[in-house]
Structure 1
Amino acid sequence: MSKIYIIHENNEWTVHLTKRLSELDLPFEEWHLNEGLVDLSEQPPEGIFYSRMSASSHTRGHRFAPELADNVFAWLEQHERVVFNGSTALSLELSKVKQYTALTKAGIKTPKTIAAVGKEQIIKAAEELGAESFITKHNRAGKGLGVQLFHSVEALKQYVNGPTFDEPVDGITLIQEYIKSPEQSITRCEFIGGKFFYAVQVDTSGGFELCPADACNIGDLFCPVGEQVEEKPKFQIIEGLNKPIIAQYEAFLKANHIAVAGIEFIKNSAGDIYTYDINTNTNYNSDAEKAAGKFGMLELAKFLGAEFAKQQAVAVK
């Protein structure tokens, strides 16, 4: 029987999608790729495949899930199965260096960034960056892994040579110029089927704890940008977003074969937009969606249902 196959490694991030698929009475099956096997002599099952593989899988004890997924994608793509967020999307999900090089190639501005391997090189990178304030982050991240704000190289030295230094899973640390937002917020643009769905403004006055998933509880982020003056929603869906950047993002996703993504940017005091993260296993915040009456997982389930129907129609001919 042909189905919609959901490839992932974290049940908490798929339960909202599978609930919507069930509501729409769509046939689906989950492939949890923490471990498994791929028989290259066999053909994959019929259906369409959607990946929600995460760069932060190793934080849940699923160290090699992305590597297994990448090989599964090769197998699926060999047999010309329809795969949404396949090999190219996963490659970008697992490397911010690849994200920034691809964004820059597409003419999309990113913060100045230097990648370094080794503690001495991390310090050297900060010196070469020459920024008054800068942040570190993991190249293979998710959940804001390794994000720290520094106002001096000396402070970085203490961190790198101290007991709290967080070694990236791929060994690559990024040193990046700090872009200060006068509004103390960032914007996350959600795309489904390669098309803009909505933008959510994220309040960063309490730090960059930006994962919108209800299941997320991020305790390893530190990037304060001021004190919160008044109570307001951390995640708020907004209208009237800058149209040129949306068109750029849609073209970027199309060129890189990415169907579903959340792309984050920040504006400086001059109004310049800096894009700094692409999430290809995007999550949605239920409170923000309820307030706006827009529901990402429902829209995603509808998209997958429509694509599944197209595939079934072709199979019948």
Structure 2
Amino acid sequence: MTRAIMTADLAILYEHPQWFVPLFAALDRRGIAYRALKPGTAFDPADPAPPAPLVLSRLAMSAFLREAEHPIFWAQSLFAQWELAGARVLNGTAALAVDTSKARQLALIASLGLAIPATRVVHRAADVPAAAEAIGFPLVVKANIGGAGAGIARFDSLDEVRAAVADATLPTSIDGVLLVQDYVPARGGTITRIETLDRAYLYAIEVAGGGAFDLCPADACQVPGSAITMVAVEPDRALRDAVEAIARAASLDLGGVEVMIDDRDGCPRFYDVNALSNFVAKPQDVLGWDPHDRLVDRIARWLDETRMRASGIEEVR
């Protein structure tokens, strides 16, 4: 699908067929021309021409759930080529490198002095029992690259872990890396997802999933009978500052960070960085405003900045 003419200054690479309809509609309302690109064709690594001076990545880590021949690693090389060709890729290679590794996310968060769940990272199933003994029970084993709660299993004893190893029923990750992680009892059974735009706080929602691991808040994730509930919240300044620090360190132009309050000690534990923010379902009902409008406002300014750089004009701040 291509919107507007080939000379549009904005291109959007996306994979999910439904999540970005509201974004496209908001751009159309503002009269901002763009090319909407879907993975599916070969690219020439020697091609010097990116699709547009400004590219927005809307690539979801859950892509592997929808297509066995997913574009996640293909896109890493594609974004690198576009950046080398002079395009500005929003949520480009630096952000994608963080998005594609929960282990890297946790290391980044811990390097900022923030708390994470106790974790061990392994690449062999045989190493999981020893890692589990080091963590203690209950625990979860999760895929290094997941999405929509995929690749997460809870274990309550070492016997259960050993049986899963013997039966080859442990979760798997498309990169072969697994995390063995403390099962944190989240206070009130809820997690908080804090969204950022251009490294700054945008909004936060409290999500309860009835014990489920899939806490995707978007329209396309909501199905009849879903136990997920969402409510807007205003996190305290410390949490907002922490999330903005994570967004800066992760090179997130747009993205969400998930945190839960450990009911054992009241400590906020950050555990997930998600560069794919498709925003909350029914935003007018939950938030009272539509974050797509603010995203489009920032895209318009990014476009202006890109055009100014192309014409040799320095932005005045």
- Give the shorter-chain TM-score range: 0.7 to 0.9
Q: CA deviation at 1:164?
A: 4.7
- Equivalent position to 1:92, from 94, 98, 112: 98
Q: Deviations over 1:183-206 (max 9, x none)?
A: 110000000121101110001334
The alpha-carbon distance between structure 1 residues 155 and 172, as it changes in their structure 2 partners (threshold 3 A), is: same
- Could you say which residue in structure 2 is the equivalent of 1:60? 66
Unmatched 5+ stretches in structure 2: 1-6
- Equivalent position to 2:14, from 5, 8, 14: 8
| Counterpart AA for 1:162 | D
Percent identical pairs in the alignment equals 24
- Say whether 1:264 aligns with 2:270: no
- Say whether 1:103 aligns with 2:98: no
The alpha-carbon distance between structure 1 residues 292 and 54, as it changes in their structure 2 partners (threshold 3 A), is: closer
Q: Secondary structure at the match of 2:59?
A: coil
Q: Deviations over 1:183-234 (max 9, x none)?
A: 110000000121101110001334232111221269xxxxxxxxxxxx9970
Aligned length: 303
Looking at both structures, which has the greater relative contact order when contacts are Cα pairs under 8 Å and sequence separation is at least 6? 1
Unmatched 5+ stretches in structure 1: 219-230
- Could you say which residue in structure 2 is the equivalent of 1:276? 271
Q: Deviations over 1:248-285 (max 9, x none)?
A: 22123223321111100010122200000000011222
- Could you say which residue in structure 1 is the equivalent of 2:229? 234
Q: Distance in 1 between matches of 2:68 and 2:305?
A: 34
Q: Secondary structure at the match of 2:219?
A: coil
- Could you say which residue in structure 2 is the equivalent of 1:254? 248
**Is contact 1:54–1:93 with CA below 8 Å preserved after alignment?**
no
Q: CA deviation at 1:57?
A: 1.6
- Could you say which residue in structure 1 is the equivalent of 2:79? 73
Q: CA deviation at 1:39?
A: 4.5
Q: Deviations over 1:24-65 (max 9, x none)?
A: 111111221244313514322443111111222221115341
- Could you say which residue in structure 2 is the equivalent of 1:226? none
The alpha-carbon distance between structure 1 residues 152 and 35, as it changes in their structure 2 partners (threshold 3 A), is: farther
Q: CA deviation at 1:289?
A: 4.2
**Is contact 2:53–2:86 with CA below 8 Å preserved after alignment?**
no
**Is contact 2:10–2:56 with CA below 8 Å preserved after alignment?**
yes
| Counterpart AA for 2:165 | V
**Is contact 2:148–2:213 with CA below 8 Å preserved after alignment?**
no
- Say whether 1:159 aligns with 2:160: no
- Equivalent position to 1:133, from 118, 133, 138: 138
Q: Secondary structure at the match of 2:185?
A: coil
The alpha-carbon distance between structure 1 residues 43 and 294, as it changes in their structure 2 partners (threshold 3 A), is: same
**Is contact 1:236–1:288 with CA below 8 Å preserved after alignment?**
no
Report which stretch shifted further, 134-143 or 37-46: 37-46
Q: Deviations over 1:125-178 (max 9, x none)?
A: 11222x231111100111122112221111223333337543221111111011
**Is contact 2:187–2:260 with CA below 8 Å preserved after alignment?**
no
**Is contact 2:108–2:249 with CA below 8 Å preserved after alignment?**
no
| Counterpart AA for 1:119 | A
Q: Distance in 2 between matches of 1:265 and 1:87?
A: 24
